[in-house]
Amino acid sequence: MNPTQAPTRRKEARQPEAGSAPMRRYTLFSLGIHILIVSSLSLPWSRREKPILADPIYEVALIKWPEPNFEPPKPAAKPTPKPPEPKPPEPKPKPKPKLETVPLKETKAAPKEKPKPEVKPVETTPVKEAPTDAENPVSVGVDQPDFKQDSYLNTLRRILARAWEPPGGGDGITQASVHLVIKKDGTVVDPEVRSSSGWSLYDRSTLRAVLTVKKFPPLPESYSGNELGLTVNFRQNVETAP
């Protein structure tokens, strides 16, 4: 190319006029390219994070439940048990027919002699006889001076003399006294040895005689007191051989 011809060609190139339609298109096109460049430079180069989507939230409104307009069912009544049926009465047994008896003729037989049973001797224990009032070794005294029923006291002496069993042995006269109380019905309470003989075996025999009796006849009805205090003297005289 000839260098001398270049300016001529530039001069010959036609420039768009200001305000013409081509000039406006060039301006808009240039403006759009600049906008794209600026926007690409403003965007970050890092990768955007994906948004985390949460579970949806539901709003719940509490509504008052309407009251029931019906009555609850009543419990069924238990059936009343039926009373047991009465047992039918047992049939009465039929009476047995009576049999006619024909009287037999009596035949007299010779009476046989029955063997006599053997009589065994019965062993009996000897019963101690009560001594007479003169021989009685038991004497009594009352605490109540207004008691005058001597027959009742003699009965007590005989009962005690029969119940007393003095010990064997001894020498001369031995005596011990026992005090007791007789209730209205004859019950004996609080027996005790008041005067000792000095021989313990003899004293125990006198107290044993009172405890063996336990109960005397009731006090006489003529006596107004409810009890009677009694002192019983047990006397034994053992004579030694010369």
Tell me how far apart the alpha carbons of residues 38 and 40 are, in angstroms, rounded to a whole number.
5
- Please report the pLDDT score of residue 128 as a whole number: 46
pTM of the predicted protein model:
0.45
- Please report the pLDDT score of residue 178 as a whole number: 94
- Please report the pLDDT score of residue 42 as a whole number: 64
Average pLDDT of the chain to the nearest whole number: 76
Q: Which residues of 15-50 are buried (b: 16+ CB within 10 A; e: fewer)?
A: eeeeeeeeeeeeeeeeeeeeeeeeeeeeeeeeeeee
- Please report the pLDDT score of residue 89 as a whole number: 77
Low-confidence residues of the chain, pLDDT below 50? 1, 4, 6, 8, 10-11, 13, 46, 121-130, 240-242
- Please report the pLDDT score of residue 131 as a whole number: 52
What are the tens digits of pLDDT across the range 2-51?
Answer: 554 545 454 454 555 666 777 778 788 888 888 888 777 766 554 556 66
- Please report the pLDDT score of residue 103 as a whole number: 59
Phi, psi for 107 (deg, rounded to 5):
-115, 120
How many CB atoms within 10 Å of residue 161?
Answer: 20
- Please report the pLDDT score of residue 47 as a whole number: 55
- The structural domains of the chain, ordered by start, are 138-238 (3.30.1150)
Judged by DSSP in three states, 203 sits in helix
